[in-house]
């Protein structure tokens, strides 16, 4: 039995939260600094929460020390928990069916590779009824650099399954070039989906192994990828 490790991004890959995370950040900025900030000058999609918050702190001339980062991130998680129930987000097309079909297969391991903090990931996926599909994950808590997260995911997969997944047995699935780059760092197969803010052209310029506009044609996705 050939096991395969599938590492999913969250925001705009699995779910659309209607910007809950950005809104939570904006509320903190308004409370702390009295500014209404659209955050248009800070890249958010595909980056880790730690990196995003470090950029915000630097913008407002606050040193991104560990203490300052942790205080901001703790405040962010509290705000996110309040905002998520207020916003009518959704699970993206085909995602739930794909996860349901793969979860029952012993040769498919479903996990997360995301820029979210673990607490934020759990809040978002619990809100949309997806958290239970994933065995483990690699999160912003593990490292601020998304490109370092593959090693954490592989180690956790090995600890849980007693199997050392090599690169050819791993898929990284996401909606930004950062997801693709992260997968390429450790030689994983990369699958891009056009359900986020990155255009088809921009994603394809990053040379993912596969590209889908969305996952609505579940049979085609599973057949094409050999899932």
C-alpha 133/C-alpha 124 separation (Å) is 13
Length of the chain: 227
Look at residues 90, 91, 96, 120 and name the one whose alpha carbon lies nearest to residue 110.
96
C-alpha 4/C-alpha 109 separation (Å) is 6
pLDDT at 2 over 80: yes
Residues pairing with 19 in the sheet: none
How large is the average pLDDT for residues 209-225? 98
Exposed, middle or buried by CB within 10 Å (0-12, 13-18, 19+), for 39? middle
pLDDT at 145 over 80: yes
Q: Where does the pLDDT of residue 216 fall: very low under 50, low under 70, confident under 90, or very high at 90 and above?
A: very high
What DSSP state is assigned to residue 111?
Answer: E
Please check whether residue 140 is in contact with residue 49, taking contact to mean a CB–CB distance below 8 angstroms: yes
Report how far apart the first and last C-alpha atoms of the chain are (Å, whole number). 13
Tens digits of per-residue pLDDT, 110-142?
A: 999 999 999 999 999 999 999 999 999 999 999
Look at residues 113, 126, 134 and name the one whose alpha carbon lies nearest to residue 77.
126
How large is the average pLDDT for residues 222-227? 97
Q: Given this model, what pLDDT does residue 163 score?
A: 87
pTM of structure: 0.95
Q: Given this model, what pLDDT does residue 9 score?
A: 98
pLDDT at 1 over 80: no
H or E segment at 70? helix 66-83
Tens digits of per-residue pLDDT, 160-215?
A: 999 899 999 999 999 999 999 999 999 999 999 999 999 999 999 999 999 999 99
pLDDT at 151 over 80: yes
What DSSP state is assigned to residue 194?
Answer: S
C-alpha 211/C-alpha 209 separation (Å) is 7
- Both tokens assigned to 84: 């998520």
Tens digits of per-residue pLDDT, 14-57?
A: 999 999 999 999 999 999 999 999 999 999 988 999 999 999 99
How large is the average pLDDT for residues 4-15? 98
How large is the average pLDDT for residues 74-95? 97
């Amino acid at each position: 039995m050939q096991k395969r490790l599938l590492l999913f991004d969250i925001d705009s890959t699995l779910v659309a939260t209607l910007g809950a995370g950005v809104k939570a950040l904006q509320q903190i900025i308004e409370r702390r600094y009295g500014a209404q900030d659209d955050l248009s000058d800070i890249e958010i999609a595909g980056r880790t929460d730690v990196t995003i918050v470090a950029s915000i702190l630097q913008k407002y001339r606050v040193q991104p020390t560990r203490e300052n980062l942790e205080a901001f991130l703790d405040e962010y998680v509290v705000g996110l928990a309040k905002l998520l129930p207020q916003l009518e987000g959704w699970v993206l097309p085909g995602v739930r069916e794909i996860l349901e079909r793969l979860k029952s297969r012993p040769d498919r391991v479903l996990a997360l590779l995301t820029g979210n903090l673990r607490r934020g990931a759990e809040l978002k996926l619990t809100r949309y009824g997806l958290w239970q599909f994933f065995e483990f994950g690699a999160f912003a808590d593990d490292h601020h650099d998304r490109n370092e997260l593959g090693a954490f995911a592989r180690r956790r997969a090995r600890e849980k399954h007693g199997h050392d997944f090599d690169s050819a047995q791993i898929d990284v699935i996401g909606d930004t070039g950062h997801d693709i780059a992260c997968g390429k760092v450790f030689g994983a197969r990369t699958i891009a989906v056009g359900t986020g803010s990155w255009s088809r052209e921009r994603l394809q310029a990053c040379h993912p192994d596969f590209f889908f506009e969305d996952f609505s044609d579940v049979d085609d996705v599973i057949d094409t990828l050999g899932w």
